[in-house]
Structure 1
Amino acid sequence: MKKSVEIVGLPIISIIDGIEIGKVKSLVINPEKGSVDFLTIENEDWQVSVKAIPFKRVIGIGEYAVTIESESSVIDLNEIPIANSLVNKKIKITNTKVMTRKGQLLGEVLEYYVDDESGNLLGSLLNVSGKEVALASDSVLTYGKDIIIVEEDASSKFLDSVEYLENPQIEATENQYEGDVEELLPASTESQSPFDEINASIDNHEESEAKALRLKQVDILYGKIVNKDILDNEGNILIPAGTHLSVDDIIKAQEQGPSVFVELSMNVEE
């Protein structure tokens, strides 16, 4: 388990090439999956394009460096529309307000924690009325740019230590924050929140943007040849090597999620 602040700024080392290719500039959050999908790279020689490493290409995140197999793991985000879309969402988590579905403000995120093997978000450290408590990511409903929406009963799941985020086997009765949660939280708001209407409007807008993005992806990849087997999330062959991509093939990859689609986008040729 790593704090986000422990990853940002680390040198990125290519094992095969034996060189430093840059430093970690930022963590790119996938709000739908609740994971870090890419690490963007800071390199003085790359002024025009934004380059990144898919998290699944990371071999290890140590105290002093992030290691990858080779420089070929680096991708140009401008060439991968879905990856570029995630960057443009600008989900930062730290310093973001935490609110329940009905509009009760719980606190603010001080830091968040990442599984350094899978990239999954494990949880966050919150400031709740001056007290620090932890909250596991399974209580999060929406990772937004400005606000994180959580379950109504999230306050009952506060933990007194971030160490519990890494060990989900500990019984909830041992995990929960030992203080008086009701004393930490402000008084309940009305059941109907103005954010409900705002969220509905945002959802409709994002749905339209998502449809436009999917159509653009189909247009870019249609008819190209796949140069390696593309696997689904279960490890089965979804699209065999040598396939001339049809619309159905591209939609199948989109439905598998960003990681599969990025893999497809990176392994096609004219």
Structure 2
Amino acid sequence: MKQSKEVLGKPIISILAGKEIGKVKNFVINPDMRSIEFMVVQNDQWDFGIKAIPFKLVEGLGDYAVTIESENAVIDLADIPIANELLSKNIQIKGSRIISRKGQHFGQITEYYFDPETGKILGCVLDTPDAISVLPETSVITFGKEITVISDEGENPLVSDEAFLSGKADEEPVEHVDVPVSSPEPAAPSSSDGLDLEELIGKTLSANLYDPSGELFAGEGTVITAEIVNQAKAMGSNKALELALKVAE
């Protein structure tokens, strides 16, 4: 079992070539399969396009690096229909608020656990007032862009981190304290979300970028400026991620 932060930023090593081909930039989540579908690759030497590795082609997730058999595992996401669909859904999990079917608020997800063999999401981490708690994936109804909806069935779904990791999630429920949500504001993309948009300034776009109304915001080949970064941030986390993914590597 691993957390996303244990993999993001790690070097990616080709076993056959015996060299580093890039670093893990981000994950593309499949909310229907409840798993990591692709790892987005960062390599400043590559041409235009968003490059990624299907999770099923990952050989290993070690303490030092992610390994793949060869560079043939790297694909252009523009060539994969499901990838474009998942990018448009922009499910990040981290930063999402947890709301029950009946509207009770449990807090905000700060991290998540996944199976290193399959990429399946196993549990979502919350920093509650008293301790770190985990929401097992089995309680989730929907992984959405901003809200993770959970079932109201049974007792409090949150368990301690220790109980979750030991496999005793059913034995140690965490006392729930309802977290007030008054006028919540969307979390701005930041380095803690795997995004540091200021680092994109001076780079170029590999594809057209449109604003929420469908108007062209910045065309392919445009050099990213501080103004473009600030405008993308103002459009919300969805557009900020799209900007990061459409940067020429």
- TM-score, scaled relative to structure 1: 0.62
Q: Which residue pairs with 2:29 in the alignment? A: 29
The 10-residue stretch of structure 1 (87-96 or 66-75) with the greater mean CA deviation from structure 2: 87-96
Q: Which residue pairs with 2:46 in the alignment? A: 46
The 10-residue stretch of structure 1 (157-166 or 61-70) with the greater mean CA deviation from structure 2: 157-166
Matched-pair contact (CA < 8 Å) for 1:140–1:151: yes
Matched residues in 2 for 1:97 and 1:52: separation?
27
- Are residues 1:176 and 2:169 paired? no
Matched-pair contact (CA < 8 Å) for 2:22–2:41: yes
Alignment of 1:4-15 (within 5 A): 4-15=4-15
Q: Which residue pairs with 1:185 in the alignment? A: 178
Kindly name which structure, 1 or 2, has the bigger radius of gyration based on alpha carbons. 1
Matched-pair contact (CA < 8 Å) for 2:107–2:179: no
Aligned residue pair count: 180
- Are residues 1:81 and 2:81 paired? yes
Matched-pair contact (CA < 8 Å) for 1:3–1:112: yes
Q: Find the residue that maps to 1:92 and give its secondary structure.
A: coil
Matched residues in 1 for 2:155 and 2:96: separation?
17
Alignment of 1:113-152 (within 5 A): 113-129=113-129, 131-152=131-152
Matched-pair contact (CA < 8 Å) for 1:106–1:155: no
- TM-score, scaled relative to structure 2: 0.67
Paired amino acid for 1:93: I
Report deviation, 1:122. Answer: 0.6
Report deviation, 1:88. Answer: 2.5
What percentage of aligned pairs have identical amino acids? Answer: 43
CA gap of 1:95–1:130, structure 2 versus 1, over 3 A, is farther
CA gap of 1:33–1:102, structure 2 versus 1, over 3 A, is same
Matched residues in 1 for 2:132 and 2:165: separation?
14
Deviation digits for residues 71-123 of structure 1, max 9, x if unmatched? 00111100011112212221111111110112221110111011111100010
Report deviation, 1:133. Answer: 1.1
CA gap of 1:20–1:127, structure 2 versus 1, over 3 A, is same
Alignment of 1:212-231 (within 5 A): none
Q: Which residue pairs with 2:96 in the alignment? A: 96
Structure 2: 5+ residue stretches without partners: 181-249
Structure 1: 5+ residue stretches without partners: 188-270
Report deviation, 1:158. Answer: 1.3
Q: Find the residue that maps to 1:87 and give its secondary structure.
A: helix
Larger RCO (CA under 8 A, 6+ residues apart): 2
Matched residues in 1 for 2:30 and 2:128: separation?
25
Matched residues in 2 for 1:147 and 1:25: separation?
23
Paired amino acid for 2:173: Q
Matched residues in 2 for 1:128 and 1:70: separation?
42
- Are residues 1:109 and 2:109 paired? yes
- CA RMSD, Structure 1 to Structure 2 (Å): 1.9
Deviation digits for residues 203-256 of structure 1, max 9, x if unmatched? xxxxxxxxxxxxxxxxxxxxxxxxxxxxxxxxxxxxxxxxxxxxxxxxxxxxxx
Matched-pair contact (CA < 8 Å) for 1:107–1:128: yes
Q: Find the residue that maps to 1:175 and give its secondary structure.
A: coil
Q: Which residue pairs with 2:230 in the alignment? A: none
Deviation digits for residues 27-58 of structure 1, max 9, x if unmatched? 11100010001100001123520010000000
CA gap of 1:112–1:155, structure 2 versus 1, over 3 A, is farther
CA gap of 1:154–1:117, structure 2 versus 1, over 3 A, is farther
